[in-house]
Chain A
């Protein structure tokens, strides 16, 4: 999966304490969310405070790499980072705690069906930085 090479000078906030571990997880092919030690809420995307109780006594938990395709689009508008066109999928994480919006690789538009199982995969886009993508589960 090293073939995905977005034009990257981003993100600039890799050292943000609330999310640093998330980016480090991607380097290790792990997908992390946060769990509140006080109220047991697990949430994604990772943030500094628990959205349920607003506490910040948090730990990191590893999620599975599974999800379900909730919607998708073929992006044809040029942006500064990614070559177009690419397929963008919105995915319900299988733990039911949140959604990811990421590039779909290894599938054509006509193969996509809302509700189909998908899997998170990883792409090294720079020496120190990896991104997550999604692929159709085989």
Chain B
């Protein structure tokens, strides 16, 4: 990359349920924390980038925030692209800074899925055509769980993984969440608890699944010049990759697309490693966007840390725990941190920034210098990978 861009501030509210607080309320809380963390004033905000406000739908939420904050940015946009929207908001900020148009941008998102229940429309006639515009497959058009369950069943067939292995990933996430003050789920669980939890779509059970919850998070993105001036511990965006596998959700067009290896994850990671000039094994800590526990096995394999099926033994060995070879989701992941879906990439980014600054508390990975953030949209069809580093 020609000129460098850094993340210099992070702020977020605890993920949970906020039935009596507006999105703008949660957003402003996260934004104030992020500005304080970055040690900058609101007047310095030149760019404002956010994730979709699904109920507003007319793109006026940044305008509202400008009024509520009394700020006058030069650039702003609401970025919509499924689950990767938050990651793309950071990319837009980075691009505008690299182009020299601005020196500082604020990226934020607020989501009240638990309180509003937009996703419930997937099960209704109104929302049923979202995933497949012409809706020719009604038995599979009512939500994400059956799709990921089909993927998990096939993965077990191809690799010999058992449901207990998926449960191991859920337990690892939960143990990590115990030390994350922003996490929604902080009661310890065991493999047995996961196995005995309510069956949703076999082999996926309740504790294999991420809960759609409310949350808000913000990150401050700055040019290297500004970052060095105001921030003691800038974290630089070192690499970037995105790829789409040309399926909207379950791949039904043609028969040649895997639902256990997702080429979008692989290609996005490959490009990110290339642009960052690093090898996969140089990553010290990673956040992967796994809405269901089986994805916790597939994504690290697709990124290149393990062979196909290799995550089964990796989980048994503890390779992805905080002390392991490649610590993954040290913040609790989507399963235990909670999943305000459009905002999740910000929470993932914040987790990695804290790790690279050495501020991850009990879950700190010793000497972490290079981190990876992965997020996805669809059924892992649209993947985005960001590499962050301290130097």
A residues contacting B by CB (< 8 A) are 6, 9-13, 16, 18-19, 22, 43-47, 51, 70-82, 86, 88, 90, 92-93, 96-103, 109, 114, 131, 133
Q: Which residues of B contact A82 (CB under 8 A)?
A: 139
Contact A100 B137 (CB under 8 A): yes
Given contacts A70-B150, A79-B143, 15 further A-B contacts (CB under 8 A): A11-B129, A13-B135, A16-B134, A72-B150, A73-B152, A73-B204, A74-B201, A77-B143, A77-B146, A90-B259, A92-B255, A97-B254, A98-B252, A98-B254, A101-B139
Q: Determine the residue in chain B with the shortest Cβ distance to A18.
A: B134
Q: What 0/1 readout, one digit per residue, does chain B (121-163) give for beta carbons within 8 Å of chain A?
A: 0011100110010111111101101100111111001000000
Known A73-B149, A76-B200; contact A99-B250, beta-carbon cutoff 8 A: yes
Q: Which residues of A contact B142 (CB under 8 A)?
A: 79-81
5 A-B pairs with C-beta separation under 8 A: A18-B134, A73-B152, A74-B202, A76-B200, A82-B139
Contact B125 A76 (CB under 8 A): no
Q: Which residues of B contact A18 (CB under 8 A)?
A: 134
Contact B135 A43 (CB under 8 A): no
Contact B143 A100 (CB under 8 A): no
Contact B135 A80 (CB under 8 A): no
**B251 in the interface (beta carbon within 8 A):** yes
Q: Which residues of A contact B138 (CB under 8 A)?
A: 6, 10-11, 81, 131
Known A93-B255, A102-B139; contact A45-B201, beta-carbon cutoff 8 A: no
Q: Determine the residue in chain A with the shortest Cβ distance to B128.
A: A10
Contact A44 B252 (CB under 8 A): yes
Contact B157 A114 (CB under 8 A): yes
Closest chain-B Cβ to A42's Cβ sits at a distance in Å of 11
Q: Which residues of A contact B250 (CB under 8 A)?
A: 90, 99, 101
Contact B134 A80 (CB under 8 A): no
Closest chain-A Cβ to B142's Cβ sits at a distance in Å of 4
In Å, the complex CA distance between A18 and B251 comes to: 20
In Å, the complex CA distance between A109 and B149 comes to: 14
Closest chain-B Cβ to A126's Cβ sits at a distance in Å of 12
Q: Determine the residue in chain A with the shortest Cβ distance to B125.
A: A10
Known A13-B129, A75-B146, A81-B142; contact A97-B201, beta-carbon cutoff 8 A: no
Q: Which residues of B contact A46 (CB under 8 A)?
A: 134, 136
Closest chain-B Cβ to A6's Cβ sits at a distance in Å of 8
Which residue of B123, B202, B251 is within 8 Å of A80 (Cβ)? Answer: B123
Known A43-B253, A77-B145; contact A102-B154, beta-carbon cutoff 8 A: no
**B199 in the interface (beta carbon within 8 A):** yes
8 closest A-B pairs (Cβ-Cβ)?
A: A101-B140, A73-B149, A71-B154, A79-B142, A74-B202, A71-B150, A92-B255, A99-B252
B residues contacting A by CB (< 8 A) are 123-125, 128-129, 132, 134-140, 142-143, 145-146, 149-154, 157, 198-204, 250-255, 259
In Å, the complex CA distance between A13 and B132 comes to: 12
Known A45-B253, A73-B150; contact A9-B139, beta-carbon cutoff 8 A: no
Q: Which residues of B contact A45 (CB under 8 A)?
A: 132, 134, 136-137, 252-253
Q: Which residues of B contact A11 (CB under 8 A)?
A: 128-129, 135, 138
Known A13-B135, A19-B134, A79-B123; contact A98-B150, beta-carbon cutoff 8 A: no
Closest chain-B Cβ to A55's Cβ sits at a distance in Å of 16
Q: Which residues of A contact B154 (CB under 8 A)?
A: 70-71, 90, 114
Which residue of A12, A13, A51, A88 is within 8 Å of B150 (Cβ)? Answer: A88
Q: Which residues of A contact B137 (CB under 8 A)?
A: 45, 100-102
Contact B199 A76 (CB under 8 A): yes
Q: Which residues of B contact A79 (CB under 8 A)?
A: 123, 142-143
Closest chain-A Cβ to B249's Cβ sits at a distance in Å of 10
Q: Determine the residue in chain B with the shortest Cβ distance to A51.
A: B253
Q: Which residues of B contact A72 (CB under 8 A)?
A: 150, 153
Q: Which residues of A contact B202 (CB under 8 A)?
A: 73-74, 76, 109
Q: Determine the residue in chain B with the shortest Cβ distance to A103.
A: B139
Which of the listed residues A44, A46, A79, A109 has the most CB atoms from chain B within 10 Å of its own CB? A79
Contact B136 A22 (CB under 8 A): yes
Q: Which residues of A contact B124 (CB under 8 A)?
A: 80
